[in-house]
Amino acid sequence: MSPRLFFGNFSFEHHLAQPGWNPPARLRRLDAELAPIWWAVAEEGDFVWAPEVFPESFWEMPPEWGLPQLCPISDWLHLPTNVEIVPWGWTSELAGEARKRHPEGHRPDVAVVRHVNSRAYRVELERELSPYFTGSQVLTSTEEFATLLKPVSPNAKWVLKANWGMSGREQWRGQGQEISEACANWLRARLARQGVVVWEPWLESLAEVGIQCEIPVAGPVEFMGLTESVVDAFGQFAGCWVQGVPEAAWHGQAIEQALRAAAFVQKAGYFGPLGIDAMLFRNLEGELCLRPLQDLNARWTMGRIALGWRRLLQPAERAFWSHLPNSPPVFLSLTRRLSLAPPFLGSSPLQRRTELLIDAPSFNQ
């Protein structure tokens, strides 16, 4: 197998929404801070794109952790030929670079990648596979939005989502029938850039899981694993359990639906990593319900990366992979702790600390 370059374009959805988009300094900094997460899935001799200058000592993890030695790269000129590029998500720019460096490599069509990552496609798929869940609506104008809200009760909460977005970003939350000027402006801007916006009722989430799949060019979809997600108040990823997740009764149904959805994504022409988020929620009648296609990401995901940390665990161990702004939650038991925070994190406005906490039987949220 050829060596790989793991390229963390973690602002991938912004490129889908606006091809040729140039990330601001804040998001370039985020890409730099998250570069070390590829340790979870890389092998000895692989390369990692590290756009910030890391001290050499940072990449020399203690041998007892059993992590591979990676080669950081910050300039394409320093990358050897015949290296397979593995991006967080495929964009036109990266596909072109990959063709130059590894011509025989297999890459999905970028137009397909853009299509299956859109929230409009997810709504279409949700109606196909989960006809009992009909809450989501695709909007193409402010007039459609106003009409949609007419029967909504004053206390009902809802959320608008841009056609491309990730981890609780590019959203607007509201309530009832009132449309503020700020909301109307947000909606007009997204419609002008992307053509459509998705509206959904706000659901009371009781639990969320990430179902990770690998879609081949041909043949059956491979189920890679399930992680129990923890999100912050804004719906953004804050961490997940890597192993030892209790087997809930609804997990099996969520996996089954996710694999059905993955087969549709494969038929659409996509192959590669796929993450599907499922939610257990309580409806207005107080009943427990499953939303099997809460989100669909045809790219690498934090949950997929988290599965890679299983190689560091003993059979009886489990771990929590923390990706929080400040110190991680308190654990009742902790035998090992691996911090992947770059040395420049203290001066970062994002302050996201990526840590693996091992052998923690209880988690206090």
270-291 confidence digits (pLDDT tens):
999 999 999 999 887 888 999 9
Half-sphere exposure of 85 (CA within 13 A, CB side): 28
* pLDDT 10s digits, 316-356: 788 888 876 655 555 556 678 887 776 665 555 445 567 88
Which residues neighbour 266 within 8 Å (Cβ) at sequence distance 6 or greater?
Answer: 215, 216, 221
Cα 200 to Cα 212: distance, rounded to the nearest angstrom: 24
Q: What is the pLDDT of residue 343?
A: 65
Buried/exposed 128-151: b ≥16 CB within 10 Å, e otherwise: ebbeebeebebbeeeebbeeebee
Could you tell me the pTM of the whole model?
Answer: 0.91
Q: How far is CA 286 from CA 94, 156, 176, 281, in A?
A: 47, 15, 20, 9
Strand-pairing partners, residue 288, are 282
Note the pLDDT tens digit of each residue in 128-154.
Answer: 887 666 689 999 999 999 999 999 999
Q: Which pair of tokens denotes residue 48?
A: 């990692």
Q: Say if residues 74 and 62 touch (Cβ distance below 8 Å).
A: no
Of 4-8, 346-350, 356-360, highest mean pLDDT: 4-8
Average pLDDT on 300-317 reads 89
CB 85 within 8 A of CB 104: no
Angstrom distance (rounded) from CA 293 to CA 196: 19
pLDDT: which is higher, 50 or 235: 50
Q: Which domains does the chain have, with CATH numbers?
A: 4-107 (no CATH), 116-201 (3.30.1490.20), 204-358 (3.30.470.20)
Residue 124 has pLDDT above 90, yes or no: yes
Q: Reply yes or no on whether the pLDDT at 40 is more than 80.
A: yes
**Three-state secondary structure call for residue 263:** helix
Token pair 């995901």: residue: 301
Task: Provide the pLDDT for residue 349.
Answer: 46
Structure tokens at 35: 């570069």
Strand partners, 319: 358
Quick one: pLDDT at residue 122?
A: 95
Between residues 171 and 66, the one the model is more confident about: 171
Residue 88: per-residue pLDDT = 97
The most distant pair of C-alpha atoms in the chain lies apart, rounded to whole Å, by: 62
> Pick from 142, 150, 151: which is nearest to 160 by CA?
142
DSSP 8-class letter at 350: S
Mean pLDDT of 114-130: 93
Write out the two tokens for 135.
């809450």
Q: Would you state the pLDDT for residue 108?
A: 96
Tokens of 279: 């939610």
- pLDDT reported for residue 173: 94
Query: Can you tell me the distance from the alpha carbon of 38 to that of 258, in angstroms, rounded to the nearest whole number?
Result: 25
The pLDDT tens digits for 215-263 are 999 999 999 999 988 877 666 777 888 876 667 889 999 999 999 999 9
Share of the chain above pLDDT 90, in %: 53
Tokens of 11: 């602002």
Say what the pLDDT of residue 329 is. 54
How high is the mean pLDDT of the chain?
86
